[in-house]
Amino acid sequence: MARPRTWILALLAVTVIVGGGALAVTSGVFAGDYEWTTVTVVDDDTDAELATVDARIADTFDKRYTGLSNTSSLGPNEGMLFIHNSEGRRGYVMRDMAFPIDIVFIDADGEITTIHHAEPDDNQTFRGTAKYVLEVPYNYTTDNDIAVGDRVEIPDEYRS
């Protein structure tokens, strides 16, 4: 028969593991095995910096498919950068999303081609031409005066 102290330690360990995982998922900081980078959005006319985003990198099929589905929210300057092998016509959906986002389509040269303000209950596909897609908090683009034609500076290690 196990001693009461052993049961208490086991219960405490399970509580810490489960509780810590729940905290990570509900706080919007659950990142899995994603790399992170910082991208900068620059005004097309003035070259002024409009915003910087700390973004998880989704550069494999599985990571692009999952996207932000396992995330309950994004921080104020947090996002996800989807990287495709080539530029093309893309379609993004709000699969298992619990919060709204802006979806920013970016061509191979870093120019923003399309911006969508997407609600989780929108049962549609958001389309644009892109090699990169940046998902950021809802109305982030509006709040930071980001528009089609502006540029997203992506670090060289993620450009090909």
Summarize pLDDT for 141-154 with one digit per residue, the tens: 999 999 999 999 99
- Burial class for 37, CB neighbours closer than 10 Å (0-12, 13-18, 19+): middle
Please check the confidence at residue 127 and state whether its pLDDT lies above 80: yes
Q: Write out the two tokens for 20.
A: 């810590």
Percent of the chain with pLDDT over 90: 72
Summarize pLDDT for 23-38 with one digit per residue, the tens: 333 334 444 689 999 9
Tokens 């897609």 sit on residue: 133
What is the rounded distance in angstroms from the CA atom of residue 150 to the CA atom of residue 121?
28
Considering only residues 12 and 39, tell me which one the structure prediction assigns the higher pLDDT: 39
Give the pLDDT band (50/70/90) at residue 21. very low
Q: Residues with Cβ < 8 Å from 48, sequence gap 6 or more?
A: 42
pLDDT for 160 equals: 76
What's the whole-number mean pLDDT along residues 102-122?
95
Q: Write out the two tokens for 102.
A: 């802006």
Average pLDDT taken over every residue of the chain: 85
What's the whole-number mean pLDDT along residues 101-106?
98
